[in-house]
Amino acid sequence: MRKAFYLMGTLNDGDAEWLSRVGLVQRVDKGSLLIRQGVKIECLFIVLEGKLCVRLAEHTNVAYLGQGEIVGEISFLDSRPPTASVIALENTYVLAFPREVILAKLDEDLGFAARFYRGIGVMLADRLQSTTGQLGYVLPRASNVVPMIDDKSDELDDTWTELISFAASRFDRLLQAVGIAS
């Protein structure tokens, strides 16, 4: 569930409430595609309930996603079609944020834009660091950089404990606002 926490932790309460108002709850039936590789997507998604699988064209499963994961963020940022498909492994509920609605908010509210992009950036940085660590490419971290996640234990650094507490609370309120029990 940590990925949505990065975003929810950088947003403020008003931002989180706005997301709960503009998000559209969608059911994705087991075996159905949420995202098809190579086909442009028009929404950014947060998994509310259920399980998804990220799959490459050659039927290689590369990731499993559950509650609190953000889906479609790279295509949202670079406007290119996704490089993988996302398939429901069980009946799944997502909160869909139409691209045009988020882009309009980003244009009109620079504070929201800064918080939103920071949250997405921190989330993607964590994913990249985790991926490169699995591949053996991790270089020693500069001494002046404070890690969000301790590499060895996968525990949150003390610097982020309070932020994650706020994020968890905001995510729970988001689930309640859209009618999903937390």
pLDDT at 175: 82
Q: How far is CA 50 from the centre of its chain?
A: 15
> For the chain, which ranges sit under pLDDT 70?
1-2, 133-163, 181-182
- CA dihedral defined by 41, 116, 171, 93, rounded to 10 degrees? 0
- 10 Å CB burial of residue 146 (0-12, 13-18, 19+) is exposed
> How is 128-142 classified by DSSP, letter by letter?
HHHHHHHHT-PPPPP
- Using alpha carbons, list the distances in angstroms from residue 166 to 6, 11, 36, 117, 163: 10, 10, 33, 18, 5
Angle at 11 between CA 51 and CA 97, to 5 degrees: 50
Q: In whole angstroms, what is the distance from residue 123 CA to residue 1 CA? A: 12
2-127+157-177 in CATH: which number? 2.60.120.10
Decide: 157 and 146 in contact? Cβ < 8 Å: yes
Q: Provide long-range contacts, Cβ within 8 A and 24+ apart, for 10-13.
A: 10/115, 10/116, 10/118, 10/119, 10/122, 10/163, 11/112, 11/115, 11/116, 11/119, 11/170, 12/115, 13/170
pLDDT at 149: 46
pLDDT at 58: 76
pLDDT at 182: 56
- Using alpha carbons, list the distances in angstroms from residue 86 to 35, 75, 89, 171: 5, 13, 9, 22
**Coil, helix or strand for 23?**
coil
pLDDT at 146: 45
Find the DSSP H helices in 59-109: 73-78, 99-108
pLDDT at 153: 47
Residues 31-49: pLDDT tens digits? 999 999 999 999 999 999 9
